Amino acid sequence: MERMLTGVLVAESPREGGVLSGVPLQVRRIERGPAPEPESGQSLRWTILEFAAPEDDAGRLAEALAACLEPAGGWYADFNTAAEAFVVFPGRVFRYPRGDGARRAEVAAYARSVGVPEPQLDRVD
């Protein structure tokens, strides 16, 4: 049985003209609702896509997300394999062992520096 990674993407987070392709994603859940304290430039309502993909595609998925996310507004995406956490910002990928508190703190500090509101940091692990 193939090992799968799981993650979350806000459908409104890709930049205009951004394309996420080349990695097969399985959409597991779609939910629409109000954004948790949206940053300037973020939509007031979000569509949350919970997805899965083969773990072997983790690196390609991270790079594809980094290339398509909107650079303004504090957008990011995250996903996890069994062993690693991936947090992806426009042009930047953080990859670290799950449960590594020091690396998580580094990612959270970076997230704040690019405008991610505090209530949206809950997924940065």
pLDDT digits (tens, 9 = 90+) for 28-63: 999 999 988 776 677 889 999 999 999 999 999 999
Residue identified by tokens 């500090």 is 109
Q: What is the pTM of this model?
A: 0.92
Contacts of 105 (CB under 8 A, 6+ apart): none
**Residue 14 per-residue DSSP state:** B
Q: Which phi and psi (to 5°) does residue 48 adopt? A: -95, 125
Cα distance between residue 116 and residue 125, in whole Å: 14
Q: Indicate the range of 14-23, 38-47, 62-71 predicted with least confidence.
A: 38-47
Distance CA 51, CA 78 (A): 10
For residues 10-21, give the mean pLDDT. 93
CA distance 47 to 29: 10
